[in-house]
Amino acid sequence: MAISPWHQTQWRSLQERRHVIPSSMLIVGKPGTDLPNLAMELAGMLLCNVGNGDKPCTACNSCHMFARGVHPDLHVISTEEAEGMCDLRFRNHSVRYADSDSTKRERRTTVRNIITVNQIRAVTDALNKSAGLGSSKICLIYPADALNLNAANALLKSLEEPTGGTYFLLVSSSPSNLPPTIRSRCSRLNLNNPTSDESIEWLTVKHKVDLKVAQQLITHGLGPYDALQMNTRENLEAHQALIDGLTNLISGNISAGAFARQSGIYDIVLTLKVIQSEIHRGLRESAQPDHDTDVPVLISPDLAVEFREALFSVYFAIGRFLSWPKKSVDEQLFLEDIALKLAFCAQTRG
């Protein structure tokens, strides 16, 4: 797959430095900006048997197996949740370390969103045992912040004493959720995130997404790849229903309970991100009006001025919530609490 335009400069630099790539890397960037693809391309380059020049040869045995998603020296560890968002080449590799007990997998009602110690044990065993096809072996972990504590501890030893030619590529959008012991053993690469304009251009020109849709989704904090996945009639209707619900909540037309129930049609984390971005926009508009804004603000400048403190506190509460490990707090209860605070702003006013 091609490298995204916003990663091109750093990609060229990685190509030039291919012989001095550190053995443990933490690759960081915003969600929905094509992180796993960049890490996969890096893996492909490091695995190429020909290995001269600054890009994979695409012709050797290694490059062929990489492209077909069956490279024995590319060990990809992921979660069911993340896999669902990744391309076929990624999934073909990650299936090797997925939950091997299929009955257990079928019996569960939720999608697994953590990386378990069993997955890490399996991969470290494989890395120690296998001779390898060429000179390199890659362990790619995405999202690395999904490692639970036991899994992170199990990984630590391998990071400290990597066997020759082994590269660990840890990929994360929330690196602060990784234990400091893991972070300190990796060289960190902060990837460039696309600007709003770059994201909108990519969506509308390359993927023919409607301009208004692209503007709205990017304004609400989605990464360009997440916005592209959202671009189905069903998802856009749910998104619009959320915007309408939020408008009604803020103007006092519906209760917090009704809003929180309605948002069941829409992912709670996305709902919170939309609320957060609208508070940010409302506060910014009140301080520095931008009459050319492409997407109407939901929180009017006078409301933002009047409830500045309350809105700031909601904004930071959502920020903290989003930085916590997943499922550590009841999402539905948290959303209801946020909705109550926003409804209170409207009621006090009315």
Q: Report the interface residues with Zn ion, using CB under 5 A.
A: 48, 50, 56-57, 60, 63
Residue 169 near residue 141 (C-beta atoms within 8 A): yes
Tell me the closest approach of the beta carbon of residue 20 to Zn ion, in angstroms: 19
Residue 89 near residue 76 (C-beta atoms within 8 A): no
Amino acid type, 293: T
Q: Which is nearer to Zn ion, 74 or 230 (CB)?
A: 74
Report residue 294 as tokens: 């492409």
Candidates 162, 209, 115; CA nearest to 222 is 209
Angle at Cα 172 formed by Cα 166 and Cα 174, nearest 5°?
A: 145
Q: Which is nearer to Zn ion, 41 or 145 (CB)?
A: 41
Tell me the closest approach of the beta carbon of residue 55 to Zn ion, in angstroms: 9
Give the integer Cα–Cα distance in Å for 96 and 118: 12
Q: Which is nearer to Zn ion, 71 or 112 (CB)?
A: 71
Q: What is the DSSP letter of 202?
A: I
CA distances from 177 to 13, 66, 94, 325 (A): 28, 30, 22, 7
Tell me the closest approach of the beta carbon of residue 77 to Zn ion, in angstroms: 24
Using CA atoms of 119, 121, 123, 125 in order, give the dihedral in degrees to the nearest 10. -150
Amino acid type, 83: E
Tell me the closest approach of the beta carbon of residue 63 to Zn ion, in angstroms: 3
Tell me the closest approach of the beta carbon of residue 62 to Zn ion, in angstroms: 5
Q: Which is nearer to Zn ion, 67 or 149 (CB)?
A: 67
Q: Which is nearer to Zn ion, 46 or 178 (CB)?
A: 46
